[in-house]
Structure formats: C-alpha cells, structure tokens
Structure 1
Amino acid sequence: MNTRLTRTLTSITFALAVLSGLVFAGKGVTHMFDDGAVCVETHFWRNAPLADSLPTVKGVTASASTERLCQDSPSVGQRAADLGGELPWLLFASLALLLFSRLMKAVVRQGPFTDTVAQRLSVLGWFVAVGTPLAGLVAGWSHSWLVASMAPMVGSGPEVSGSLAGVLAGLAAVIMGKIMRQGVRMREDLEGTI
C-alpha cells in the first residue's frame, strides 16, 4: 500500500473538511447580516403564463422568464430559509469529509484491515446514509417554505432535494465495514490458532 499517497489524501481531505466548515460558518454569518433581496426559483408556472397574475406578497417581484420570486426586504425567517437551501449540504459535506479523514488516518496508522478502520467505515456509511436524506429534507423544506412565504398559493408543501445515490453509497460503506470487521475477526482467530 502506498502510504505517502494515503497520507497526502488524508491531509487533503482534512483540509477540505476544514475549508467546508469555514465556508459554512462564513456563509451563514454574512448572509444573515446582508440587507439585499432574497430570491428563490420555483417551477410552478413553467408551462403557464402566470407571472403577471401570480398572487404574491407585498414587495415580491415575480419573473416568468427565470421562474424566480424575489423579496426586496426579507424577514429574518425568509433569510434563514434562504440559507436552509445551502447550509445543510455544506455542513453535511464538511462532516462527511472529516469522518473520511479520520478513516484515512486510521488506515495510515494501523493498516487497512483493522477493527478501527472497519468501525470508522461503518460510522461514515451510516452518516452518509442518514445524512443525505436529512440534509435534503431540510433544504427542500426551506425552499418550499420560502416559496410559500412569497407566494402563498404557490407553496406545495415539503419536498426533498438531492438524490438517493448518497443513501446507497452510505449503505454500501456500512456493508463493507461489516464485511471488513468479520474478516478482521477471522484473521485474529486464525492467528490465535497458529
């Protein structure tokens, strides 16, 4: 196994995790204190010319060509809901990269076929399998609420953004972690009998 490459990958992954965390914090702070308009895309009127007669809240402009709603002076809740579309994914990415970095650090220190590596692979897998739909639900709900706060008749209820590929990848990592843990136990039993 190429330990230099693994160490480099571990360092890069940790740096990306820290960078994602900083972007998460910076975006949250700067966006909450921004006094500009909040815009959201909706595909409600994609096939209908409703932009001129769309029932919107006071201060909201609707654009049919871009399918966007913009609130000139948004409330704190609208600004937070606007952040809710991006911040869950940034937090998810930061934590997933941190868990992956820990996994790679264990590989460098102890080797790939150890109980610690198997456990960390399972933890990463469960985090990805559960965190993907959870981040998607928070982002989708925030988007739906923001649209409903600007055009009450357009709001369609909570939605989930993102894909289920992350769930499948997470479950695959959990299964691989279980297989590795079983292999580690078999190797320990074999070494004990020799």
Structure 2
Amino acid sequence: MTFALAVLCGLAFIGTAVTHMLDDGAVCVQTDFWHNASLADNLPVGKGVKGSSSATRLCQDNPSVGQRAADLGGELPWLLFGSLALLLFSQLLKAVLSQGPFTDAVSRRLSVLGWFVAVGTPLAGLVVGWSRSWLVGSMAPVVGSGPTVSGPLVLVLAGLAAVIMGKIMREGVRMREDLEGTI
C-alpha cells in the first residue's frame, strides 16, 4: 500500500511538472511582505503584474519560463519529499514483514528514514521558500523580501525521534545476539 502511494506521489510529481510547464495561464504567488499595505499606496509591481487589494497575492499574466519554474518550485519539492519518504517507509515495512521487527536491517532502515525526514524537511522548505521569494521579487522587486522556510518543521523532530529509535533498536539487536551467543 505504501509503495503504491509512493508511486502515486511520483506520478503526481511528474504530471504536475509537465502540465505546469506547458500551461500558458497566469502565475500567482501569495506573500505576506506587504501585509498592511494596499495597491493604492503605489507598490512597485512589475509590468503585467496584478495584485489583490491587500497586496498579498500577485499574479503575472504572461510569465517567463523562470517565473513558471519558480512557481513550480513552490509545489514540487513537497511532492518529491513525500514520494521518497513513502518509498523509504515501504522498504522499512517490507523489512519488518520479511525479517521481523527487531533486526539490524529494520533498525538501519528506520535510521535512514529518520535522517531523510530530519534533513529533507528543512531542505524542501528552503527550496519552496527560495522559489516563492524569487517569484515575488520578479513580480515586485523590493529589497527585504528574502527567502523563508515553509512547511511543517515539526517533522524534523519526528525524523530525529526515528533516528534515536533506530539506534535503540540496533543496540537491542546487538544485545539479543550476544544473549543468543552465550546460551
């Protein structure tokens, strides 16, 4: 089941990339940089950029290839992250089913999954933040609208917990092997 979900996320990743790059519609981005401003204040927006009255949503009618790619960078990193995490989780479950839960292979796969989640979450968030920041900067060039980290950063704690559990399991496996060797 998890492998099928990983494949489905991978297909969604590829499908979103292809359809988005071939789309000729407007590209929009949400920003909180001008949260208290309005377009009546003559914000410095680029040519062909339309903004909402609260100036928190900007849309470019005829985006460049770079703007379309930056818009795609706001969606694809999380799809790729989710797909790879599900793939690693399915490999972990396969090892549990074939060898049992307290084996060296399971502890290693749990640690790998934990490190992937702990490191991959902020990386995906940075890519999304940089993409959105660049897209906002290309539509309304203002100094100070730098990149942010987006996404559920609480997953870093979950990843670190999985790494710790993997180490605990590895120690338990070693203790069980020592005990079997003495009996």
TM-score greater than 0.5 by the shorter chain: yes
Aligned residue pairs, count: 183
Question: CA RMSD of the aligned region, Å?
Answer: 1.3
Q: Give the aligned partner of residue 185 of structure 1.
A: 174
Alpha-carbon shift at residue 167 of structure 1 (Å): 0.6
- Alignment pair present for 1:62 and 2:32: no
Instruction: Give the alignment of 1:74-93 within 5 angstroms.
Output: 74-93=63-82
SS class of match (1:177): helix
Shift of 1:160: 0.6
Whether the 8 Å CA contact 1:81–1:142 is kept in 2: the answer is yes
Deviation at 1:37, TM superposition (A): 0.5
2:38 and 2:54 in contact (8 A); partners too = no
Deviation at 1:163, TM superposition (A): 2.9
Separation in structure 2 between the aligned mates of residue 25 and residue 129 of structure 1, nearest angstrom: 24
Instruction: Check conservation: 1:145, 1:155, Cα contact below 8 A.
Output: no
Three-state SS of the structure 2 residue aligned to 1:101 is helix
Task: Tell me the SS of whatever aligns to 2:82.
Answer: helix
Counterpart of 1:5? none
Percent sequence identity over matched residues?
80
Residue from 15, 20, 42 that aligns with 1:53: 42
TM-score normalised by the chain length of structure 2 = 0.96
Which stretch of the first structure deviates more once superposed, 121-130 or 40-49? 40-49
Mean Cα deviation higher: 72-81 or 43-52? 43-52
Paired position in structure 1 for 2:102: 113
State which drifts further: 13-22 or 40-49. Answer: 40-49
Consecutive unaligned residues of structure 2, counting only runs of 5 or more, are none
TM-score (norm 1): 0.91
The corresponding residue for 2:29 is 40
- The answer to whether the Cα contact below 8 Å between 1:132 and 1:167 also exists between their aligned partners in 2 is yes
1:165 aligns to 2:165 (yes or no): no
The equivalent position to 1:125 in structure 2, one of 114, 138, 143, is 114
